Chain A
Amino acid sequence: MSNSARQLWLLAAFSLAMMAAGLVWAAFETRLFLNALVWIKPFKFALSFAVLFATLAWAVDKMSAPAQSARTLRWTIAVLAAAFWFEMIYITLQAAQGVGSHYNTGDLYHGVMYSIMGVGAVSLVVGTGVIGWAMLRDTGAKVHEDLRFGIGVGFILSTVLTLITAATLSSMPGHFVGIPPTGAATIPFFGWSAAVGDLRPSHFLALHAMQAIPLLAWAVQGRASARAWIIGGSVGYSALTLALYAQALMGLPLVRL
Chain B
Amino acid sequence: MSADDLFGLASAAVLPGWLILILAPRSHKLGGRWVWLDRIPALIIPFGLSALYTGLILAHFAGAEGGGFASIAQVRALFASDFGLLAGWVHYLAFDLMIGAVMASQMDKMGLSRLSQAPLLALIFLFGPLGAFLIWAPQGSLRVFGKGAAA
Taking beta carbons and an 8 Å cutoff, which residues of A are in contact with B? 1-3, 6-7, 9-11, 13-14, 16-18, 20-21, 78, 81-82, 85, 89
B150 to chain A, nearest CB (A): 8
B112 adjacent to A17 (CB under 8 Å): no
Q: How many interface contacts (CB-CB < 8 Å) are there between A and B?
A: 54
Please give, as numbers and ranges, the residues of chain B lying within 8 Å of A85 by CB-CB distance.
116, 118-119
B137 adjacent to A10 (CB under 8 Å): no
Please give, as numbers and ranges, the residues of chain A lying within 8 Å of B151 by CB-CB distance.
1-3, 6
B147 adjacent to A16 (CB under 8 Å): no
Residue on A with the closest CB to B113?
A: A7
**Which of B110, B113, B142 is the one whose CB lies under 8 Å from A78?**
B113
Contacts A2-B151, A81-B116, A89-B119 given: A20-B111 contact, CB under 8 Å? no
User: Within 8 Å of chain A (Cβ to Cβ): is B141?
Assistant: yes
Return 20 A-B CB contacts under 8 Å, by A number. Answer: A1-B147, A2-B151, A3-B151, A6-B147, A7-B112, A10-B111, A10-B138, A13-B138, A13-B142, A14-B120, A14-B134, A16-B141, A17-B135, A20-B133, A21-B130, A78-B115, A82-B115, A85-B116, A85-B118, A89-B123
- Tell me the bound Cα distance from A96 to B117 in angstroms: 22
A14 adjacent to B116 (CB under 8 Å): yes
Residue on A with the closest CB to B130?
A: A21
Please give, as numbers and ranges, the residues of chain B lying within 8 Å of A21 by CB-CB distance.
130, 133-134
- Tell me the bound Cα distance from A85 to B133 in angstroms: 16
- Tell me the bound Cα distance from A13 to B140 in angstroms: 10
Please give, as numbers and ranges, the residues of chain B lying within 8 Å of A78 by CB-CB distance.
113, 115
A248 to chain B, nearest CB (A): 34
**Which of B113, B118, B133, B141 is the one whose CB lies under 8 Å from A13?**
B141
Minimum-distance CB pairs A-B, first 7: A13-B138, A17-B137, A85-B119, A17-B134, A81-B116, A6-B111, A81-B115
B84 to chain A, nearest CB (A): 27
Contacts A9-B147, A21-B130, A85-B119 given: A3-B111 contact, CB under 8 Å? yes
A6-B150, A78-B115 known, 20 other contacts, Cβ within 8 Å = A1-B147, A2-B151, A3-B151, A6-B147, A7-B113, A10-B110, A10-B112, A13-B138, A13-B142, A14-B120, A14-B134, A16-B137, A17-B134, A17-B135, A20-B137, A78-B113, A81-B115, A85-B116, A85-B118, A85-B119
- Tell me the bound Cα distance from A17 to B116 in angstroms: 14
- Tell me the bound Cα distance from A6 to B148 in angstroms: 10
